Structure formats: C-alpha cells, structure tokens
Amino acid sequence: MPKQPRKEPRKKPDNSVAFHTNMQNRSDISTTQTVKKIFCRKVPKFDCNSNRKTAQKRKRRDTGADLTVEWIKLPNSVYYNSYKFAKVGNIYINQGDNVLVAPEENDDPQIAHVSYMFEDLETNEKLCHAHFYIRGKDTILGEESDPKELFLVDHCEDIPLQRVQEKVKVHKSEFSRSWHLDGGKDSDEKNKNETNDNGDGKDYFFSKRYDYNQSRFIDFIDNESRCISCFWEEEENTFNTPIYREKSFPESSYIEWKNEKYTVGSAIYIDYEREELNIKPKEVAEENYYTLENLDGDWVWMTKLDRQIIFPERYRKFEKKYESEYIACEPYTVGIIEKITANNKRVSIKVREFYRPEDIGKGQYGDPYLLYWTNCIYTIGNFKKWSEVVKGKCYISNKEHISDIYQWVQEGPSRFYFEEFYDPRTEKIKELPSDAQNIGSKRRRTVGGYNAESAVAWPTLENKLNCLDIYAGCGGLSDGLEKSGLVNVKWAIEINEAAAKSFQLNNPGAVVLQENCNTILSLLKEGKGQSVKMPKKGEVDIIVGGPPCQGYSVINRFKNTTNSNGNNSQIMTYLGFIDYYRPKYFIYENVRNFVNFDKTDYLKRTFKCLLAIGYQISFGVLQAGNYGLPQNRRRFFVVGAAPGLTLPKLPNPTHCFGRFQRNIQSIKVDKFFYDIGDNAMGALGSLPRRTVTIRDAIYDLPYISYDTMTTEMPYNDDGLQSHYARQLRQYCNKSDVVKDHECNPVSALIKKRIQMIPENGNWTDLPNVAITLEDGTQTELMKYCYRTKNQKENTAPRGMCQCVQGDPCNKTHKDIRYRTIIPWSIAHTADRNAEWKNVYGRLQWDGYFGTITTNPEPSRTQGRVIHPDQHRIVSVREYARAQGFHDEYIFVGNTREKYKQIGNAVPPILALAIAREIINAVLTDKRKKNLQNLK
C-alpha cells in the first residue's frame, strides 16, 4: 500500500534525533525549469554540417589579400599611428566592434573583439589588436554547448585587418540585481540570451571568461580602456616574476614574488633535481634449503619442497613482479634565506638547507613537521631560476619558543620546527648556533642574525555562512567546513535513517530532515518549505553535497524522449536546489567517474546548467592523499560562486602521494586534459609534506580482537602519537575514551585465514592445510592436479582447474573445492587479475589505505582491509581515521551501517582544505568592498 501523507499535526522535532517528514516519496524528478530544459532536451546537437558549409563559403571570399583597407578620419590624438575607424572592403569597422576573423587553418572563422587598430610604421601594414572569444563547443562543454554562447579567453593578437570578414553582435549577459531571489522561477528570462536564431550566425552572447589552464569559468570586470587579455597577461606576469628590491641597507633588500616579500630570514620550499626515491618491495630471495616458517602459530623448519606444498600460491610473489603501491615522491627541501646579494644587477641568494628526519637516517617516515638545522648552503646563483627552484613560503621556529608544538603546527599553513643541528659531513648532532636558537623567538631581533618571520595563521571569518547540506550522509563534508570556520551548518537532508541520526547527533544545532531531497524540493516549489523548517530564499549562503550517481543511464532515455516521468536523477535535484536557493557558493562532490558518465554528457549538462543559472565554477579531481589523508581516494569536485563574487580556487595539493599523481588527477574530456591547474606542484612531483601513513593514522588506537565486546576503551597512549592522530584527537578530552572501535564479525573460516596472513602478506601466503576451525568445522585441502603451461619442471603442479592448460573450465565443477584455507575462486582467477594482490591483504604500517568503500571485506578486491598486525579487519574508528574524521565524531547504527556512512562520506580533512580556499575568496571580496568604500 502506498504511504499516505500523515494527517495529524506534525510533532515538534526532537532536536537530538533527525526527524522524518513522512512525506509521500515522489518518484518523479523535482527540479527547476532551467535544469529540466538542459537535462531533458531532445537530441541537442546543433547541425555541425551547416556551420561548416558557411565557413567554407566565407573562407573562399576571404583569403583576404585582395581586400582594400583604408583608415577613416584622422588619427587619434594620443598615438599618431592609432585609428578608431577603418574600412575593410566594403565593411566599416569601429574600435570595440566584434568581428569574424578568417581562420589561419582549416577551421571555423574565429570571433574577436577589436580592442584597437593601428598602422605598423615600418611595414605600413594596417593591423587590429584582436581579443578572441571561443565558441562553447571549444570549451569542456563540447557539443552540449549552446551554439550562440561564447567565452572570452586569454588570447589576443595583432592581425592584418584584411582577415576581418564581417561584423557580428556579441551581447554580454548581465544578471539582475535580484538574481539571488529569482531562482526556480519558470520564467522566460533565459530566452533573452538565446538570441533569435535566424540562421545568419551573427548574434552571440557571453558572460564568462574560460580559463582552460585552471579549469574555471569565471566572471571578470571589463576594462573599456584597454585589451583585457593583455591586462590579464600583464597581471599574471607581474604576479609570477620575482623582482629584486634593493634598499640602502643591504640586509633590508628583498625579493617580491606572488604578492609576498622574501627577506633574509624567510623560510622557503626549494625543489631541485634529486635522485628519485624508489622504494621497491624488498626482493626476498627464495632460499633453496631450510627456512623457518610460521604455520598457524607454530614455527616449523621447511624444505623448498615442503614450502611448495604447504604454500602452493606463494610463488606468485617471487616469480611475478609486484608493483608497490607505496612509491612516493620526496617532499620539498626547506631552506632559510641567509643572504641576498646583488653585484652589477646579478642577484644571488644563499639558502641554508634544513634536513628532514628521513634525510639523516631516522627512518622513512619521520615527524613531518620536524627539521634539522644544517651547515649546507644552497645558492641560487641565477635569479632567473628563482621560480623554478622556489616553491613558496613556509615558517620555521626553534622548538624552544613554542609551548605546544602539536597545536602550533595546526594553527597555520606550512609550519615547521627544529631543535637540533645535524652536520652531514660528520653525521653528528651538534648544539644549535645562537643565530638558529633565536629563530621563532617573540623578541624581535634586528641586529645580526635572522629576522625570521612570524608564522601566518589560517584565515578566519567574522560572519560564518549559513550552510545547507543535501545528500548529507553522516556529515563528513559539513564537519570539515565547520571546523574551518567557514560555515554554520543549519540544515541537512539525508534519506538514510542511521546516517541522518549520526548527522543530528554530531550537529545538535542543525535541522536534519530524514527525507528524500526530491520530496523536499517539490515542497519548496509549492511554497511549503517552512512546514519542514527549510530556510527561505536568501537565507542559505552555501549549499554543499554529493548526490549519489547511480542513474547515469538516465540521460540516454531523455535523448529519445522529453518525458521524464519515472526517472529519478539526483543530480537534477541537486541542481534544482542550487537554482532554487541561488546561494553565494556551492560545493558539489561526486565519484571521479562522474566525469565519464554517459560519455561525459552528464558532466557537460551539469556545467551547462550551472552556467545558465549564472554560476562561476572551478572544477577538478582531488586526490585525498594529496591533502594529508592516509588514503588513495579521488573525487570530482565543483566549487561555484554567484555572479560578481570572487570564485574560490580548488586547493593546491600539500602532501606527496603516489608516483603518478599528476596524471591520475587529470580528467580527460573530448581529447583534452583538465586538472586543477595548481602552480605549486613541481615538475618532480614534490610537495611540502610526506605522505601520511597508516602508522600515523591508527597506531595509537588500542588492541582489539573479534572477541572484544566493549566499543569504548582508553587510548593506547605510549607517547607515540603522530601529528595526524593528535590532529584528530584535538577535540577530545584527555580522559576521553576511543569510541566506535569495533569491527564486523566474520565467519570462522575468514577469521582463520586472517590469522594466517603474515605482516605485509596477502592470500598467497595462506597454507594449504586441513584443520579444524573454532566452530568445529573442518577445512578442505585444495587439489592441484594440473600443470600450468609455463610452469618450470621439478615444481609441484600449480593449476587447480583444467583451464590452466587452455581448456574451458570443467562444467561439472568437479575441480571446485569449498571451505579451503586458500580461497578457491581467488586462486582460480588470479592469473587473469594481477594476482588479486589486495585480497586478504594486510595493510602496511608504512603504506596507506586503498579507497575506503562502504563495506570492508577481506575477500573483496578493492583494497587491503586487514589490520597491519592484529588478526581482524580495520575497526569503524580506524576507518574513520582513514577518512580524516575527528575522534569525537561518532556514528549511529550497527557496525555495518557505521562503515557504510564513513565509506560514503567526504573526508572532513579534504573538506577543510576546500573550505579554506572559500574563506580566502570571501576575504578577497571583503577587502575589495572595503577599498570601494574608501573611494
């Protein structure tokens, strides 16, 4: 029976529990007209052929050379060779006109803005300075774009006026003052932009600048007096070019770069060619004779033949190459500017290098905030190399001057401390020289020594933004945003009961609706939003969320029909919320593969909707590991800003992670690559800090086993807390206990297998033994009856099914064994699946987590989930640590539901990094406003 809307008055919601509105779930999509029009339109493709034909026709007319060009009227008074009017053939061109320009190659004519016109005094050539637009189809929107929509790009050129073919109209779309309240209206407003297409192809509109390098669509302020593309280029050059500023006191001279000052005493990241760190898995030579083997707790001497029989799958480790997942690049070297000198304009900079714990043999993964003072000096002799070598600013202090080092390093970006002097020549630790001792001291020293800079703190906001989290899950995204100080999470919608309750428990002040987002949007559109405590238009400053994307085949259906009944596309609902509320900012999150859904149509239509509503957008794939998480997790993000605001950037990576990080962060759409366009990532792939490891993430959590019944217990505090653990424990009291430190029970067979996996091992380390399990059942032996094709002689048979010889698998399944310690189906398919190296894989203390999924199962193939040295899978709390949840964050539901909530979440630490960029954008706008008020 279908649910009926309830009739009795709704009870006042209990603030400790998310409330269910008990609304009828509507199966049709709730969204707004703008969104619907773009997502549901029938075969949208414009006719490329007709365009091409006209282009060819024009081209013939416009080889151009025979056209006469004359100047009209007198030269401008300011520059005697500059002109405001010209006649090209029989067309009159004014400065400021938009024109079609004959293409240089076999392509459509280009569209350009005539910034100014002038005569080359040497060649007498009549030229115009053209600033180019690109067509929507040449952006990431591709064929989904409106054929009338143009984008301004950073490209201008002096071209001969003969190349001008004709004038065209290009309107700038402006957004009304009441834009933020106009959302969701089913008006024809957008039609203003869609100019009457009478087929002459001469009317276009635009509103945004397209920045391919940074993957952004952004607003800009037009500058009537000059070419804005030249202005952008100049601005960028000024920003990127270091300038030496000489002062009368040599020690006060400084370098100005990227809006920052670098003086003697400034600490910097430097990146120069080093031998690539290549941590290969240890090659263990398989000995021919006796080895001591651990067999279910007993140490047994085994011969090579014994080993082949007891561990029949282990050969896979030695004969086939495993590629380590944990190959990471080295972080930047930290240095402090010791001296800046200039002789005959030749600027040279002496930098004292610091060493990291790794550099002095203190293990692979030392304290990522700790440095050693050294007597190594690196000289940047060629000032032109500055931008290649210097990767930005950091802040250092002698530990002596800081009361709580763990707190201090969390309070701002790029902070490091040191307490010892390491001499690489003698490999000895020495006492710090007095210069070094004073670094970080509150007492300012001006004479001699370093005038070290005090560390900057994270930016903060006076007025936090009101946040609505949709598809909120248990609240990972919201949590990171709140901890950054960007938002107050006031409203959240989440359909899953346990997740909604978790959200409410951790955000007692928020209105949490346990409901379908679709249903809530329909209510809003009917004007009934307040009945469920939803905000009014204008009350939401930021909307965040990641709609689940199971419905990527939906568009295919729309392609053949405009009827959207019965389809349920969460992305359209998400966009509907954005259009309805029109918040100042939004954050959209999805799986990395969102990009490829429906051959990238989904992505393009999403962008098209957001642009049509008026938003500026930054997009890209962020790798959680690059932002200080011990996890390989790539997610697609779009950050948007309302028209006229400063568009936040996506955050620059801060932590080394993986070897091919650059490539895997890019997305490819229609043959073009897009990435987040950061400047900080060096060519060598170095970044400020090392990878966060599993040791950092979970070492301080207490021992548990499957028999541990309690889920709350004291921490394992032996003074070995990592910075990461301290960061996640910063909101806990000293007396606090670990919560949610529990794991899913497993069957006796799986439990036994886990027990038998050695450190760093996986399923290939399991012995082939018949034993009695703790539930009294018996395991069966695997039978290896077939020799594989390329098996060496005098080795025991390795195939357990006749398919290893190229025959089809036995139809009667006579080869299959059940309840074997070595999982039969895994061994059966291992050859075809890169040995299934993660199956029953133990996590490695010095490695990181694979992508956290909604259900950690050791027999699954996605990632290792067995604890590094305890005989169990990772606990809920360990899972939460992998996702960067603070320890005070607790979860509602049974163990399975808790894992699922965590697996579905956006890592709070990643959300924090995004939030800080939004804070920067808010502050930029605030400064701009203050400046305007001064004027």
Closer CB to Zn ion, 140 or 159, in the complex: 159
What are the percentages of helix, strand and coil residues in the chain, rounded to 5? 25, 25, 50
Residues 388-447 close enough to bind Zn ion by CB under 5 A: none
Closer CB to Zn ion, 316 or 690, in the complex: 316
Q: Position of tokens 């009291």?
A: 733
Stretch that binds Zn ion, among 75-83, 219-227, 518-526, 537-545 (CB under 5 A): 219-227
Long-range contact set of residues 69-75: C-beta below 8 Å, sequence gap at least 24: 69/126, 69/160, 69/161, 69/162, 71/119, 71/126
- What is the C-alpha to C-alpha distance for residues 411 and 460, in angstroms, rounded to an integer? 11
Our CA angle for 850, 853, 855, nearest 5°, is 125
What's the Cα-to-Cα distance from 737 to each of 474, 710, 898, rounded to whole Å? 21, 11, 18
Q: In what order do the strands lie in the sheet with 254-257?
A: 243-245, 254-257, 260-262
According to the binding rule CB under 5 A, does residue 801 interact with Zn ion?
yes
Using CB atoms within 10 Å of the CB of residue 445, give its burial: 0 to 12 exposed, 13 to 18 middle, 19+ buried: middle
Tokens (6 digits) for 174: 């402006």
Least Å distance, CB 259 to Zn ion, is 23
- What is the C-alpha to C-alpha distance for residues 313 and 840, in angstroms, rounded to an integer? 13
According to the binding rule CB under 5 A, does residue 229 interact with Zn ion?
yes
Q: Are 887 and 879 in contact (CB under 8 A)?
A: no
- What is the C-alpha to C-alpha distance for residues 474 and 490, in angstroms, rounded to an integer? 14
Stretch that binds Zn ion, among 223-231, 453-461, 494-502, 599-607 (CB under 5 A): 223-231
According to the binding rule CB under 5 A, does residue 827 interact with Zn ion?
no
Closer CB to Zn ion, 229 or 691, in the complex: 229
List of residues 6+ apart from 205 with CB closer than 8 A: 148, 149, 150, 170, 171, 172, 173, 193, 194, 195
Tokens (6 digits) for 197: 């297409």
Q: Are 618 and 647 in contact (CB under 8 A)?
A: yes
Closer CB to Zn ion, 621 or 801, in the complex: 801
Closer CB to Zn ion, 451 or 825, in the complex: 825
Least Å distance, CB 802 to Zn ion, is 7
Least Å distance, CB 226 to Zn ion, is 8
Closer CB to Zn ion, 457 or 809, in the complex: 809
Least Å distance, CB 231 to Zn ion, is 8
Stretch that binds Zn ion, among 159-167, 290-298, 331-339, 802-810 (CB under 5 A): 802-810
According to the binding rule CB under 5 A, does residue 803 interact with Zn ion?
yes
According to the binding rule CB under 5 A, does residue 277 interact with Zn ion?
no
What's the Cα-to-Cα distance from 839 to each of 63, 316, 763, 794, 829, rounded to whole Å? 65, 13, 6, 29, 12
Least Å distance, CB 210 to Zn ion, is 16
Residues 143-162 close enough to bind Zn ion by CB under 5 A: 156
Q: Position of tokens 């001057």?
A: 401
| Strand-strand pairing, 98-101 and 110-119 | antiparallel
DSSP per-residue string spanning 35-82 = HHHHHS-S-----HHHHHHHHHHHHHHT--TT--EEEESPPPSSSTTE
Stretch that binds Zn ion, among 81-89, 225-233, 302-310, 628-636 (CB under 5 A): 225-233
Least Å distance, CB 133 to Zn ion, is 13
Mutual angle of helices 570-581 and 517-525, in 10-degree steps:
40
Stretch 105-144: interaction string toward Zn ion, x if CB under 5 A = ----------------------------------------
Stretch that binds Zn ion, among 140-148, 456-464, 800-808, 870-878 (CB under 5 A): 800-808
Residues 501-520 close enough to bind Zn ion by CB under 5 A: none
Q: Which residues of 606-637 are buried (b: 16+ CB within 10 A; e: fewer)?
A: bbbbbbbbbbbbbbbbbbbbbbbbbbbbbbbb
Mutual angle of helices 476-484 and 908-934, in 10-degree steps:
40
Least Å distance, CB 536 to Zn ion, is 45
Closer CB to Zn ion, 511 or 803, in the complex: 803
Distance in angstroms between the alpha carbons of the first and the last residue of the chain? 67
Using CB atoms within 10 Å of the CB of residue 223, give its burial: 0 to 12 exposed, 13 to 18 middle, 19+ buried: exposed
According to the binding rule CB under 5 A, does residue 305 interact with Zn ion?
no
Q: Are 64 and 162 in contact (CB under 8 A)?
A: yes
According to the binding rule CB under 5 A, does residue 809 interact with Zn ion?
yes
List of residues 6+ apart from 362 with CB closer than 8 A: none
Least Å distance, CB 431 to Zn ion, is 59
Least Å distance, CB 225 to Zn ion, is 12
Among 230, 302, 769, 890, binds Zn ion (CB under 5 A): 230
Q: Which of 156, 549, 656, 801 is catalytic?
A: 549
Closer CB to Zn ion, 230 or 342, in the complex: 230
Least Å distance, CB 436 to Zn ion, is 49
According to the binding rule CB under 5 A, does residue 164 interact with Zn ion?
no
Closer CB to Zn ion, 51 or 788, in the complex: 788
Least Å distance, CB 86 to Zn ion, is 18
Q: How many other C-beta atoms are found inside a 10 Å radius of the C-beta of residue 297?
A: 7
Closer CB to Zn ion, 158 or 359, in the complex: 158
Closer CB to Zn ion, 227 or 512, in the complex: 227
Our CA angle for 81, 83, 88, nearest 5°, is 115
Closer CB to Zn ion, 113 or 741, in the complex: 113
According to the binding rule CB under 5 A, does residue 300 interact with Zn ion?
no
Stretch that binds Zn ion, among 4-12, 224-232, 277-285, 370-378 (CB under 5 A): 224-232
Least Å distance, CB 232 to Zn ion, is 9
- What is the C-alpha to C-alpha distance for residues 369 and 396, in angstroms, rounded to an integer? 9
Number of residues that bind Zn ion (CB under 5 A): 7
Active site residue 803: no
Q: Position of tokens 């949208």?
A: 44
User: Residue 739 is which amino acid?
Assistant: K
Least Å distance, CB 65 to Zn ion, is 25
User: Residue 785 is which amino acid?
Assistant: C
Check the CA dihedral 892-895-897-900 and report its sign: positive
Check the CA dihedral 308-311-316-321 and report its sign: negative
Closer CB to Zn ion, 154 or 359, in the complex: 154
According to the binding rule CB under 5 A, does residue 377 interact with Zn ion?
no
Q: Are 82 and 89 in contact (CB under 8 A)?
A: no
Q: How many other C-beta atoms are found inside a 10 Å radius of the C-beta of residue 667?
A: 24
According to the binding rule CB under 5 A, does residue 227 interact with Zn ion?
yes
Enumerate binding residues for Zn ion (CB under 5 A). Answer: 156, 227, 229-230, 801, 803, 809
The residues carrying an active-site annotation are: 549
